[in-house]
């Protein structure tokens, strides 16, 4: 397991070098996520700068890196196609408002309620997602293909073979080897930065041929523009086509040689402007759904990453402050024509591994990224970095992120917890983070309720013609069935006391169960009294007096024989 021991004292050199390392890794991811969202690369790059810079200054977790992320980009794709960029930017602004509101209302503290099994599942699932995403770089000769099921156009590629695959694999292994072994010789310079520079120089000064960042950006931009143009042509012709010929025409357009159009963005990223949409309830209804989805995904991923970094650094960040910072960053991104973002577990792990512990590393990463964007000579240098070097960096991140100890827990923890770990991991891979975390919390809550439902019991004492039920355990929706099965109204004497000294009444289901039992005795002309209720239970029953009919008596029942 890669060493992630954290030193708390600040080291300016480590912070600066770590920030530079993170910036180098941010560029291709920001570009890739922009294409996932269906927007221009500059929209992703500016988002990485704004979100990274603002959260580094205002955020509640020094050392955590934020930027444009795949989790948020995925849910933007269909929205951009339907409504366009301006509505996307408006949704990002509203997303920021929602996140700030969550921070002000101190909703961020509820992240502490997440079970540890959900956290493990999140970490493992996200590590696998990051790893699987890298395999997309092993494809070449990308082309536009028509999908008959969805009647949309997709970009597909062929797996590398022969010398190309061998060269790519060799450079990835070389990068990972340098990152792993270089710190054993010296920790003066981050091993990740050394690996990126070394592999870049090797490719530039030897006959080795491989894909670089500049090549990748150019290819992705060209193929995405081609896809958009073919989709435009198809949608324009589709209303006039016979149903039987729709798929045939789709394949013809996909296989045709249509020159990709010039990139004509409606708005320049990085320039302040209020989103150009009508200010009415209809527009609010359009952006509200996406805004809430983005806010939820962004906060969940950010707060869970914050918790993970807290554990690694043995410090504690402020979840509510992070909510406000993320919201502010997304508001600014929306107004400056960027796609917004949230915390990035992969980049945060790179930063921690490289020695970044404080705000300086995140600020440095954001400013370096800004320099890459606005200074063409620096962008040219970034374009020389081989893609296999960045894949190697991300594979190291995957190894460091995955909680390997969880693999040894299968026979050491309750099966329900192990099921939650696996379930959250799988759902994270197949669907998305927000659904996975929500599912994990629901499963954990149901398991807890099931276990607690079995704890409602009663000792029964009959004395002087009075039957006493001495209850113990929680009474709530999960245990009401067991509660009802305790009583035998038809066989009981005329007077019954139900003892609540060792039990608690928690919810409406419990109140209804008590009322139902009392009604059964009342129908049999028998007298039932509730005794020894705790103060809070008494208050609950008193508040519920209009909807239930029970007798409450403070005197204690006799002890069991």
Residue scoring higher pLDDT (53 or 456): 53
Residue scoring higher pLDDT (326 or 475): 326
Domain ranges of the chain: 12-401, 406-451, 454-553
Q: Sorting pLDDT into bands at 50, 70 and 90, what band is 7?
A: very low
Residue scoring higher pLDDT (74 or 377): 377
pTM value surpassing 0.75: no
Q: Report how far residue 331's alpha carbon sits from residue 315's, in angstroms, rounded to the nearest whole number.
A: 28
Q: Are 303 and 108 in contact (CB under 8 A)?
A: yes
Question: Quick one: pLDDT at residue 553?
Answer: 61
Q: Using DSSP bridges, classify how beta strands 466-475 and 495-505 pair: parallel, antiparallel or unpaired.
A: parallel
Question: Quick one: pLDDT at residue 498?
Answer: 87
* Three-state secondary structure call for residue 478: coil
Question: Quick one: pLDDT at residue 2?
Answer: 38
Q: Sorting pLDDT into bands at 50, 70 and 90, what band is 413?
A: confident
- The rounded mean pLDDT for the chain is 83
Average pLDDT over residues 130-140: 83
Distances (CA, A) of 194 to 25, 168, 169, 171: 13, 18, 19, 14
Question: Quick one: pLDDT at residue 557?
Answer: 43
pLDDT tops 60 at residue 265: no
What string of DSSP letters covers 145-173? EEETTTTEEEEEEEE--HHHHHHHHHHHH
Question: Quick one: pLDDT at residue 464?
Answer: 83
Question: Quick one: pLDDT at residue 97?
Answer: 96
Tokens linked to 355: 């020695």
Question: Quick one: pLDDT at residue 9?
Answer: 67
Question: Quick one: pLDDT at residue 206?
Answer: 92
Average pLDDT over residues 372-395: 84
pLDDT tops 80 at residue 4: no
Q: Report how far residue 162's alpha carbon sits from residue 151's, in angstroms, rounded to the nearest whole number.
A: 34
Q: Which CATH superfamily is domain 454-553 in?
A: STAS domain (3.30.750.24)
Residue scoring higher pLDDT (94 or 560): 94
Average pLDDT over residues 298-313: 84
Tens of pLDDT along 488-535?
998 999 988 888 888 888 888 888 888 888 889 888 988 888 887 777
Tens of pLDDT along 168-226?
999 999 999 998 898 888 877 778 888 888 999 999 999 999 998 888 878 877 887 88
pLDDT tops 60 at residue 131: yes
pLDDT tops 80 at residue 545: no
106-120, 378-392, 540-554: least confidently modelled range? 540-554
Question: Quick one: pLDDT at residue 552?
Answer: 65
Tens of pLDDT along 461-499?
888 888 989 988 888 888 888 888 899 998 999 988 888
Count of CB atoms situated within 10 Å of the CB of 5 = 7
Q: Sorting pLDDT into bands at 50, 70 and 90, what band is 559?
A: very low
pLDDT tops 70 at residue 106: yes
pLDDT tops 60 at residue 561: no
Q: Sorting pLDDT into bands at 50, 70 and 90, what band is 104?
A: very high
Distances (CA, A) of 411 to 5, 83, 418: 28, 50, 9
Average pLDDT over residues 130-147: 85
Q: Report how far residue 138's alpha carbon sits from residue 142's, in angstroms, rounded to the nearest whole number.
A: 11
Tens of pLDDT along 54-82?
999 999 889 899 998 877 887 787 788 77
Q: Are 323 and 108 in contact (CB under 8 A)?
A: yes
């Amino acid at each position: 397991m890669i060493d992630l021991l954290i030193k708390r004292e600040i080291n300016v050199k480590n912070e600066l070098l770590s920030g530079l390392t993170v910036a180098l890794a941010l560029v291709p991811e920001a570009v890739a996520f922009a294409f996932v969202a269906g927007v221009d690369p500059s929209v992703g790059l500016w988002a990485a700068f704004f979100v990274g810079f603002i959260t580094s200054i205002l955020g509640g977790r020094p050392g955590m890196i934020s930027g444009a992320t795949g989790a948020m980009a995925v849910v933007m794709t269909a929205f951009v196609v339907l409504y366009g960029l301006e509505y996307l930017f408006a949704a990002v602004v509203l997303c920021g408002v929602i996140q700030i509101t969550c921070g002000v209302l101190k909703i961020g503290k509820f992240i502490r309620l997440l079970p540890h099994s959900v956290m493990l599942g999140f970490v493992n699932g996200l590590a696998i997602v990051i790893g699987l995403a890298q395999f997309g770089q092993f494809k070449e000769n990308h082309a536009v293909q028509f999908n008959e099921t969805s009647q949309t156009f997709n970009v597909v590629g062929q797996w590398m073979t022969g010398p190309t695959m061998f060269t790519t694999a060799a450079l990835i292994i070389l990068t990972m080897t340098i990152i792993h072994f270089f710190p054993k010789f010296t920790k003066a310079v981050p091993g990740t930065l050394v690996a990126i520079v070394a592999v870049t120089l090797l490719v530039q000064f030897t006959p080795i041929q491989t894909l670089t960042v500049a090549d990748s950006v150019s290819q992705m931009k060209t193929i995405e523009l081609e896809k958009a143009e073919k989709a435009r042509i198809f949608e324009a012709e589709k209303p006039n086509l016979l149903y039987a010929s729709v798929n045939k025409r789709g394949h013809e357009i996909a296989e045709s040689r249509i020159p990709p159009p010039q990139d004509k963005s409606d708005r320049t990223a990085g320039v302040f402007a209020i989103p150009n949409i009508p200010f009415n309830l209809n527009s609010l209804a359009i952006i509200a759904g996406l805004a809430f989805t983005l806010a939820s995904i962004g906060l969940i991923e950010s707060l869970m990453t914050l918790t993970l970094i807290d554990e690694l650094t043995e410090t504690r960040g402020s979840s509510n402050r992070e909510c406000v910072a993320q919201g502010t960053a997304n508001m600014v991104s929306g107004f400056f024509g960027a796609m917004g973002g949230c915390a990035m577990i992969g980049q945060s792990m790179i930063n921690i591994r490289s020695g970044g512990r404080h705000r300086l590393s995140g600020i440095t990463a954001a400013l370096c990224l800004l320099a890459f964007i606005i200074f063409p000579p620096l962008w040219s240098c970034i374009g020389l970095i081989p893609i296999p070097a960045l894949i190697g960096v991300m594979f190291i991140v995957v190894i460091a992120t995955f909680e390997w100890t969880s693999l040894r827990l299968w026979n050491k923890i309750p099966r329900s917890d192990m099921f939650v770990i696996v379930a959250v991991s799988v759902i994270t891979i197949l669907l998305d983070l927000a659904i996975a975390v929500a599912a994990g919390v629901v499963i954990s809550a149901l398991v807890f309720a099931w276990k607690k439902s079995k704890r409602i019991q009663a000792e029964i004492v009959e004395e002087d013609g009075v039957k006493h039920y001495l209850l113990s355990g929680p009474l709530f929706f999960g245990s009401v069935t067991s509660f009802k099965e305790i009583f035998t109204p038809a066989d009981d004497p005329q007077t019954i006391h139900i003892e609540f000294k060792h039990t608690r009444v928690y919810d409406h289901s419990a109140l209804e169960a008590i009322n139902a039992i009392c009604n059964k005795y009342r129908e049999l002309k028998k007298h039932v009294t509730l005794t020894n209720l705790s103060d809070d239970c008494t208050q609950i029953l008193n508040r519920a007096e209009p909807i239930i009919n029970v007798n409450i008596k403070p005197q204690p029942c006799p002890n069991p024989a």
